[in-house]
Amino acid sequence: MIFDPTIITDHLGDIGKGFLVTLGTWASGVVLGLFLGLLIAVIQLFGNVLVRAPLRAFIELIRSTPFLVQLFLIYYGGPAFGLSLDPIPAGVLGLGIYGSVYFAETFRSGFNSVPRGQLEAAETLGIPRWQCILRIQLPQMLVIILPALVNMATVMCKETAVLSIITIPELTMVLTGIGSSTFAFVETLTMLCIGYLLLVEACSRLGMFLEARVGRFMLRQAR
pLDDT at 185 over 70: yes
CA distance 168 to 171: 9
| Local confidence band at 27 (pLDDT 50, 70, 90 cut-offs) | very high
74 within some domain: yes
DSSP string, 87-111: HHHHHHHHHHHHHHHHHHHHHHHHH
Domain count for the chain: 1
Asked if 196 and 190 touch (Cβ cutoff 8 Å), the reply is no
Residue 115 pLDDT class (50, 70, 90 cuts): confident
1 occurs within a structural domain: no
What mean pLDDT is predicted for residues 109-125? 79
Does some domain include residue 86?
yes
Asked, for residue 81, whether it belongs to a domain, the answer is yes
Residue 182 lies in a domain: yes
In a domain, 106, yes or no: yes
Residue (of 67, 79, 72) closest to 33 by Cα position: 67
Q: What is the pLDDT of residues 54-113, one digit of tens each?
A: 999 999 999 999 999 999 999 999 998 888 999 999 999 999 999 999 999 999 888 888
CB atoms within 10 A of CB 1: 8
**Taking 60 as the threshold, does the pLDDT of residue 12 lie above it?**
yes
pLDDT category, 218, cuts 50, 70, 90?
low
Residue range(s) defining the domain that contains residue 41: 6-222
* Res 214: pLDDT: 74
The most confident of the ranges 16-20, 79-83, 114-118 is 16-20
Residue 15 lies in a domain: yes
Q: Is residue 73 part of a domain?
A: yes
Instruction: Please say if the pLDDT value at position 205 is more than 80.
Output: yes
The pLDDT score that the predictor gives to residue 219 is 62
Contact between 73 and 4 (Cβ < 8 Å):
no
pLDDT digits over 131-182, tens only? 777 777 777 788 788 889 999 999 999 999 999 999 999 999 999 999 999 8
pTM of the predicted protein model: 0.88
Higher per-residue pLDDT: 169 or 123: 169
Name the nearest CA neighbour of 95 among 175, 169, 35: 35
CATH number at residue 70: 1.10.3720.10
Q: pLDDT class for 221, splitting at 50, 70, 90?
A: low
